[in-house]
Amino acid sequence: MSRAATLALLALVVCTPVRAQTPDDSLARTLAQLARELDALRLEVRRQADLLAQRDSAAMAAEGQLPALQAPDQRFRQVSGIASRPFLYRGVNAAVGGYVDLEFARDWGANTTTFTQHRFIPFIFADISDRLHFGTEVEFEYGGPNAPTRDGEVKVEFAALDVNLTRAVNFRAGALLSPLGKFNLIHDSPVNDLTDRPLVDNRIIPTTLTEAGAGLFGQIYPSETSVLTYEAYVVNGFNNSLLSYAVNATTGAITPAMNVRSARGSMRSDNNPGKSLVGRVAFSPLLGIELGGSAHTGRYGDTGDGRLTVAALDGIVARGRWEILGEVATANLSVDATNERPRALAAYRAARGNDSTGFGAAYAAAPFTTAQRGAYLQFNYHFLQGAVRGFPNSTFTGVVRLEHLDLDADGDGNLQQRLSLGINWRPIEQSAIKADYQWNWVTPAGRTTSLRPTNRLVASVATYF
């Protein structure tokens, strides 16, 4: 039977009205069963039509009549999730894919040279129905927990159910990629043009930041050329590991340290009854331009009113061969001294042989860090498209990235700065071979001048599959 005849027959079945039957005790059950069968047939017609359209497009692409379908550029006009990723296999109602990377680093400061099989991350995406979708990505780092040295791990980075209501309003629940900054949403190795992630997205926005929660997302079109996207979720938030305490065993001086990355919360349970809010709004006035703002705020302590607020601005402009992108973020801490006192006392006693003499004065003089700042600015230039024989869609990209990280915005020093120069070659858009050279400057706490820079050569291969 021809394709057209098959579709016509299915459509006829779907459109044929159900004839009334003589009322009896089973009539309601019969009608309900017929309604379910009709819904199933309608869904099958849609699936068959989509499948035939995909086969036609693939056949035409193979014959050179039109380009093969590409995944959308995740950097523009997209909300987080799995649907926009490229996949090796797309079935009728499911897709399977993922990405993998391998890194090499020569660090002259640490005098180390090493290969690192960093990430292997499978994706699964499923259309449960027309309006219900599920996506997940599972990360295997450093070979997983059963690697010979047992220093790897397996964790869920994203696992969410989407309920599509309208294009402007949709519901999402599960293990969510927090929309804090842009980089946390597009952190995949094949997307990014340098091997190492920005410093600000390691310490102030602790990428990858995954949190259990629920909320809304959507796209709005203010005009024919502009798009506004948003995500807003209620999540467990950060936990009480935000502050740690170093104690001088001789003098008893207490030095608190603020580390947002260490405070990423549990997806099993919250450490306090309060919930955190996280959200991002991005506006794209034209294709190739996007500006975003985001924030995350909530209580972090097991008890008390201590609060952490992280805010970020991000942007990207792509024009021809050039791209400029960047992000700036700030973390502000409101310390609940009463809540923190027992944790500081425990560290004090541990350092001084269980002796708490002088703790009160040392704690009162402790210099709490209450603000951290960071930013990066990156320039990309694409050249020699299709220059490598046998790879007509290949391109080279030159990259310059400037970074600044201030881990104590209230005091001197505690700075990290980096300049990266890189080049990568993409045989296709979804795969990259990268080489970067870094200059890293560190200014210790309390100082106003940096130490001599340490240099690193890093390289990697990364690809979607």
Over pLDDT 90: what percentage of the chain?
Answer: 76
What is the model's pLDDT at position 60?
Answer: 47
Residue with tokens 């045989």: 427
Confidence at residue 76, expressed as pLDDT on a 0 to 100 scale: 62
pLDDT: which is higher, 78 or 120: 120
d(CA 323, CA 401): 12
What's the helix, strand, coil split of the chain in %, to 5? 20, 45, 40
pLDDT in tens, 288-342: 999 999 999 999 999 888 999 999 999 999 999 999 999 999 999 999 988 899 9
Measured CA to CA, the distance from residue 425 to residue 420 in angstroms comes to 17
Contact in structure between 416 and 440 (CB atoms under 8 Å): yes
In the predicted model, what is the mean pLDDT of residues 21-34? 63
* Average pLDDT of the chain to the nearest whole number: 88
CA–CA dist 155, 239 (Å, integer): 19
pLDDT, tens digit (0-9, with 9 covering 90-100), for 226-282? 999 999 999 999 999 999 999 999 999 999 999 999 999 999 999 999 999 999 999
Q: Are 340 and 359 in contact (CB under 8 A)?
A: no
Rounded Cα gap, residues 61 and 58, in angstroms: 5
Residues 418 and 201: their CA atoms lie apart, in Å, by: 13
54/60 Cα distance (integer angstroms):
10
* 317 close to 284: Cβ distance less than 8 angstroms: no
Residue 63 has pLDDT above 90, yes or no: no
State how far the alpha carbon of 195 is from the alpha carbons of 120, 138, 424, in Å: 15, 20, 10
- Quote the longest CA-to-CA distance of the chain: 94
Question: Residue 36: which pLDDT band, with cuts at 50, 70 and 90?
Answer: low
- β-pair partners for 227: 284
| Lookup: tokens for 431 | 């795969």
What gap in Å lies between CA 262 and CA 39, rounded to an integer? 49
DSSP 73-105: -TTSS--SSSTTS--SEE-SSEEEEEEEEEEEE
* pLDDT score of 34: 74
Contact (Cβ atoms closer than 8 angstroms) between residue 389 and residue 397: no
204, two tokens? 């102030």
Per-residue model confidence as pLDDT tens digits over 144-185: 998 899 899 999 999 999 999 999 999 999 999 999 999 999
